[in-house]
Amino acid sequence: MTEDKEKIIITQYVQNYGSMSIIFGFIGIFLLSFILSPIAFIFGVLAVINKEYIAGLLGILFAVLGVLTSPILMAIINMPTITYIRNGVVL
């Protein structure tokens, strides 16, 4: 006779909201901030909801820094930015 033994299969569900938030937020500080910073903020909030506190808060911080360094987003929310023009070149 054969005995059927119960098998227990344990799968680990990994949520990467925190790491995605950090990546999008960090890149959003330097490039395409008007697209990447809101995405980083959303992923950061999802990470905090899913108890990834450090990564989520760091991603939210990067998203806020990306918004503050983006002239396009500052123009959308009607906040002035400092623009330095020298010899016809915007710096």
Confidence grade of residue 70 (pLDDT, cut at 50, 70, 90): confident
Chain-centroid distance, C-alpha 3: 52
Is residue 32's pLDDT more than 80?
yes
Is residue 82's pLDDT more than 70?
no
* Higher-pLDDT residue of 22, 10: 22
Average pLDDT, the chain: 82
Predicted local confidence at residue 54, as pLDDT: 92
Distance between CA 43 and CA 25 in Å, rounded? 9
Percent of the chain with pLDDT over 90: 34
